[in-house]
Structures are given as structure tokens and as C-alpha cells.
Amino acid sequence: MKKNKLHAIITSQVILTILAFIWVLPIIFVILQSFRAEGGQFVSYFFPKHWTLDNYKYLFTNKDGWNYGQWFLNTLFVSVISGIISTFLSIGVAYSLSRLQFKLKGFYLKFALIVGMFPGFLSMISIYYILKALNLTNSLWALVLMYSYGAALGFYVQKGFFDTIPQSLDERAQIDGASRWQIFTKITLPIAKPIIVYTALGAFTGPWMDFIFAKVVLGNNQSKWTVAVGLFTMVSSKENANSLFMSFAAGSVLIAIPITILFIWLQRFFVEGVTAGSVKG
């Protein structure tokens, strides 16, 4: 029986190792291509024959109009602002639905669940025309508004986390004369640090990586492009697809570094938030 158990463990580890290698392989490939000095978009080998940092330098020193530095700052601005707004809305709505009782609570829970089943890009055209009517297209604030507007519907994991916090803590605080706001800020939020980090990380990474909405809203306004739109445009034409592919890979590596560091740093809170939120969510 011990031999069978050991065999199962070894087999599962081998399978997981193979799957991990398959998952990491494209990432390794992109990193290697960002340092490749020779060839174009398609080569018949995996490791570069010659190494260089010129692909990274090109992103910041080129005179072809590819302003990667500005794209990076635009992406950072949109992600941070919309991340803060979305986190505040999600946590506020989740706490209200977990702790407060009101007539339309059941209806809103069902409504949010049904609406959340539809992909966000289905509303892309209507959102674009609304922004156009408000004269907000080709604007970073339009992206902030768009990424934040649906935050109040993505609260189920957060609500599940708040449900795990005993309501007896709220009742004891109310007996001592604490207001609902004091209970929320001084008791609940410190306990809810894992779910706040989970929410903030998700709200930040969405705009950081998004391409579809950013491309539609920003159009041809190159000074307002995010990194995803800018890098796509770099290699979308036949003239640049071959020669700029290595710089495209370098830009992909640079945009992945901050979010990777952030995730590794906050991984413990992220896992705790998902685990606790999924118990009752």
C-alpha cells in the first residue's frame, strides 16, 4: 500500500513538472527573444546566437514614434487610479451585502450574478458610443471610468470573505457605542486585509493587461496609448512585424516585471483571500 502511495505521489509530481515546464516555456522563449541580436520574427532555433541589449534600448531611444516610456506611464496611471476606485467599490458593496439587510438585497445578488455571466466586451460598442457622446474618447480618464464602472458587480468572493467574519464582533462593538463606520474601518478592514489585497491586485492587473477596450477607446491617439496597444501597433504592419519583433518581446518582458514582483510580494494575502472567500462565496 505504501508502494502504491509513493508511486502515485511520484507520478503526480512528474505530471505537474511537465505541465509547469509547458506553461513556462513560452515565457522563457519571449525573454530569450528580447535579447536576440540576429534574425527577424521567425528563426529555426530556440536560443539566440548573439546577445544584445539594443532591443531594450530601442524602446526608449528610437525616433520612429514608438514612445514606450509614455505608454508605460499611461498604463500605470490607468491601472493605479482604476484599481483604487474598483477596490473601494467592491469592498464597500461586499461589506454592505454581507452585513446590512434591505429590501432589494436578494434581487441585487441575483441580478449581479446573472449580469456577471456575460463577458464584458459584449458592452464594448455601447460603452464606446456613451463615451463618445460625453466627449471622453481618446482619454485615459475614459479608461479609468470604464474599468471602474463594473466593480460593484464583482463582489461575490469579497462577500464570502466578510461572511466568515463573526457578526458577534459587530454586535459587541455596537454595544460599546461604536458606529457602523467605526466598526467597518477599525474592526472589519484590519481583519479583511487578505481580501483587500486580493481585490486590489485583481483590479490593478485587469487594466494593466487589457488590450481590447484600450484599443477601442484610445483609437489613434498615440500619446495616450497603453503598453498593450502600443506594442500591438508596433508589429501589426508588415514593414515592422519582422524588424521590431525583438523589441516587441523586450517591451513584453518589461511590462511583466512590475506585476510579477507585485504578485510574488502579495502572494500570501492573495491565496488567503481566494481561499477564505471561496468557502462561503
- Does 4 have pLDDT greater than 80? no
Residue 100 to residue 96: CA distance in whole angstroms: 5
Check whether 68 has a pLDDT greater than 60.
yes
pLDDT bin (cut points 50, 70, 90) of residue 235 is confident
Residue 227 to residue 252: CA distance in whole angstroms:
9
Tally Cβ neighbours within 10 Å of residue 147: 23
CB 231 within 8 A of CB 42: no
What is the pLDDT, as a whole number, of residue 70?
93
Higher-confidence residue: 61 or 275? 61
**What average pLDDT does range 101-112 have in this prediction?**
82
Q: Which of 43, 79, 32, 39 is nearest to 255 (CA)?
A: 79
**The three three-digit cell numbers of residue 96, written as one number:** 454592505
Q: What was the pLDDT predicted at 277?
A: 47
How far apart are alpha carbons 214 and 142 in whole angstroms?
9
Of the chain, the percentage scoring pLDDT greater than 70 comes to 94
The domains located in the chain, with CATH, are 57-280 (1.10.3720.10)
pLDDT at 227 over 50: yes
The pTM for the full model equals 0.83
d(CA 255, CA 120): 23
Determine the pLDDT at residue 2.
65
Mean pLDDT of the chain: 84
pLDDT at 273 exceeding the cut of 70: no
